[in-house]
Chain A
Amino acid sequence: MTPIFFDHISTTPLDPRVFAAMRPYFTELYGNPSSHIHDQGQEGLKAVDAARSSVAALIGAKPGEIVFTSGATESNNLAVKGAAGASAEKWKHIVATEVEHFSVLNALIPLSNRGYEVTLLPVDTDGKVDPEDVRKAIRSDTLLVSVMHANSEIGTIEPVAEIGRIAKGRGVLFHMDATASAGHLPLDVGEIGADLVTLSAHNFYGPKGTGALYVREGVALESQIDGGFQERGFRAGTENVPGIVGMGAAAAIARDEREGWAAHLRRLEGKLREGVGKTVEHLHFTGHPTDRLPGHVSFWVEFAEGESLLLFLNVHGVMAASGSACSSNLRGHDEEDLVASPVLRAIGVPSDICTGSITFSMGKGNTEGEVDHVLGTLPGIVKRLWEMSPTYLDYQKKKA
């Protein structure tokens, strides 16, 4: 059978319509938007402007509030470091959560080395941050609150609108990492009250290497890349025109089709969730049961290690992801890179019985038949690992 891709949280396939839109901008319309004195440059500028409008429309923003970047990692870095760099000395405090992406958490490290204080808020066992905790954490010197819209590993949607209201009420900037949610969940920057929003094209059927940061009109940021004056001075460097065109096309498609995708994915999610819950013993779902990304099912299984599950699934034609202790960075340079998932730690999963969660993240192209295949395969794989596991043996002896 054709391999089944259930790892859309890592990336999505480029929509063929997006590819078609991008194509001319490689070989025919190759102009540099900064050289708009001539026709080729004009074409480039027009294309970037059209894409800017399209991305803005996806999130209820004005075109002038969209800054194109190389992706979510750069956007998160620009948001966090850029806000700090542009603010006066007295704003020295940043609030984020324990479950933010590494591109937020690690961007905070050089800031704390420079004297910024960082408060990392805990989450509950469903992975949600309590808006009250945000309210309590904000101080007179708080510059920024950074909370993700939805978590890629456990799927949980955070109460961002409440957090946005709290931040606004206290005059604090609110950055929202919408990498996993944009194009999949309703997202209106005005309703949420966000000042900075991170977007990634390849997470909604656009190309890799292109992202954007929404920067609310009037918000100051220090550019993290020195050079020319592209992107209103927020991001130097010749624009990735084909990538930006692709992101614009993907945003337009998502705007039209998002609700249909979500309905389809909720059906698949319900079927997969119910199925694995019934057929696999000792299975624990992670994340919020209902407030979650559509098509996202995540769990861990006692006595079965995450990477082994993924390897067996791959052999059976199923590609999934894990935040497992062992597999999180297999291509790292040494064992220091083998860190347990901070997200699993944050939601209080006991480390002595869990070394890996499985994340099935489905996309618009997945089918019920593929869910059936996974449901037919997973119980046997789990059983095979249990039969090899000394901890399962001990458990059974204890039970007997």
Chain B
Amino acid sequence: MEKGEAAMSTGPYSAKVMEHFMNPRNVGEIENADGVGEVGNPACGDMMRLYLKVEAGRIVDAKFRTFGCGAAIASSSMLTEMIKGKTVEEAQAITNQQVAEALDGLPPVKIHCSVMAEQAVKSALDDYAKKHP
């Protein structure tokens, strides 16, 4: 860590948000993913694409690419950690509040980033259901 990094304040975000923003988990894509979800729109400031690998009804891998603010990237990263190892049903039940709480909260104007994470997993699971009827 550079000297500047150690002294940094987290600004409007929790330390957890900054930690996930700086070191996002599971960035990338999964080739031949079992489910892909995409939500948001760059024109609105953020866009998230989520890739899932599902084996025997359980999410064994998740990767994401996100265009967006610090909260959007941290929410994406946190979401992938939360859903890995969960069954499809368990992942379906994840709410935006759970994502926000796992990040030690988000500023009020950034709640939509956690909503985007919830929508992304639902969208990816819909895609999975279509591909695996």
Give bound CA distance, A326 to B21, whole Å.
Answer: 15
Contact with B along A135-171 (1 / 0, CB 8 A): 0000000000000000000000000000000000000
Residue of B nearest to A340 (CB): B45
Q: Contact: B42 with A353, CB < 8 Å?
A: yes
- Cβ-based interface call for A316 (8 A): yes
Per a CB cutoff under 8 Å, which of A316, A334, A391, A393 touches B29? A393
Q: Contact: B43 with A355, CB < 8 Å?
A: yes
Q: Which of B85-93, B96-104, B107-115, B124-132 contacts A (4 or more CB under 8 A)?
A: B107-115
When A338-B109, A388-B24, A390-B67 are in contact, do A315 and B4 touch as well, CB less than 8 Å? Answer: yes
Give bound CA distance, A352 to B45, whole Å.
Answer: 9
Contact with A along B47-62 (1 / 0, CB 8 A): 1110000000000000
When A314-B8, A330-B109, A331-B107 are in contact, do A390 and B70 touch as well, CB less than 8 Å? Answer: no
Which residues of chain B are near A218, meaning CB under 8 Å? none
Which residues of chain A are near B112, meaning CB under 8 Å? 335
Give bound CA distance, A330 to B69, whole Å.
Answer: 11
Identify which of residues 3-50 in chain B touch chain A, using a CB-to-CB cut-off of 8 Å: 3-5, 7-8, 11-12, 18, 21-22, 24, 27, 29, 38, 41-49
Which residues of chain A are near B8, meaning CB under 8 Å? 314-315
Per a CB cutoff under 8 Å, which of A330, A334, A352, A391 touches B12? A330
Q: Contact: B24 with A333, CB < 8 Å?
A: no
- Cβ-based interface call for A400 (8 A): no
Q: Contact: B42 with A352, CB < 8 Å?
A: yes
A342: shortest Cβ distance to chain B, in Å?
15
Residue of A nearest to B107 (CB): A330
Residue of A nearest to B9 (CB): A314
Q: Contact: A317 with B108, CB < 8 Å?
A: no
When A331-B107, A355-B42, A355-B43 are in contact, do A308 and B27 touch as well, CB less than 8 Å? Answer: no
The A interface is mostly helix, strand or loop, or mixed, namely loop
Which residues of chain A are near B109, meaning CB under 8 Å? 329-335, 337-338
Which residues of chain B are near A325, meaning CB under 8 Å? 44-45
Give bound CA distance, A335 to B73, whole Å.
Answer: 18
- Cβ-based interface call for B84 (8 A): no
Identify which of residues 374-399 in chain A touch chain B, using a CB-to-CB cut-off of 8 Å: 387-393
Per a CB cutoff under 8 Å, which of A315, A326, A332 touches B108? A332
Per a CB cutoff under 8 Å, which of B66, B67, B108 touches A333? B108
Give bound CA distance, A261 to B110, whole Å.
Answer: 39
Q: Contact: B67 with A305, CB < 8 Å?
A: yes
A301: shortest Cβ distance to chain B, in Å?
12
Give bound CA distance, A335 to B5, whole Å.
Answer: 30
B18: shortest Cβ distance to chain A, in Å?
8
Which residues of chain A are near B41, meaning CB under 8 Å? 352
- Cβ-based interface call for A181 (8 A): no
When A3-B4, A308-B68, A314-B11 are in contact, do A388 and B42 touch as well, CB less than 8 Å? Answer: no
B73: shortest Cβ distance to chain A, in Å?
6
Which residues of chain A are near B45, meaning CB under 8 Å? 305, 324-326, 338, 340, 355-356
Give bound CA distance, A314 to B21, whole Å.
Answer: 13
A302: shortest Cβ distance to chain B, in Å?
10
Q: Contact: B69 with A316, CB < 8 Å?
A: no
Q: Contact: A305 with B68, CB < 8 Å?
A: yes
Which residues of chain B are near A355, meaning CB under 8 Å? 42-46
- Cβ-based interface call for A300 (8 A): no
Which residues of chain B are near A340, meaning CB under 8 Å? 45
Per a CB cutoff under 8 Å, which of A315, A330, A352, A356 touches B22? A315
A182: shortest Cβ distance to chain B, in Å?
30
Q: Contact: B42 with A391, CB < 8 Å?
A: yes
Give bound CA distance, A352 to B48, whole Å.
Answer: 15
Q: Contact: A308 with B70, CB < 8 Å?
A: yes
B14: shortest Cβ distance to chain A, in Å?
13
Contact with B along A340-354 (1 / 0, CB 8 A): 100000000001110
When A353-B42, A393-B29 are in contact, do A307 and B47 touch as well, CB less than 8 Å? Answer: no
Contact with B along A1-33 (1 / 0, CB 8 A): 101000000000000000000000000000000
Q: Contact: A352 with B43, CB < 8 Å?
A: yes
Q: Contact: B43 with A389, CB < 8 Å?
A: no
Give bound CA distance, A334 to B109, whole Å.
Answer: 5
Give bound CA distance, A249 to B13, whole Å.
Answer: 38
Residue of A nearest to B8 (CB): A315
Which residues of chain A are near B5, meaning CB under 8 Å? 315-316
Q: Contact: B21 with A311, CB < 8 Å?
A: yes
B127: shortest Cβ distance to chain A, in Å?
15
- Cβ-based interface call for A68 (8 A): no
The 5 closest A-B pairs by CB, nearest first: A317-B4, A326-B69, A307-B69, A390-B65, A325-B45
23 A–B contacts from the bound complex (CB under 8 Å) = A1-B2, A305-B45, A305-B67, A305-B72, A308-B21, A311-B11, A315-B5, A315-B8, A316-B4, A317-B2, A317-B4, A326-B46, A330-B12, A334-B108, A352-B41, A388-B24, A388-B65, A388-B73, A389-B66, A390-B38, A390-B48, A390-B67, A393-B29
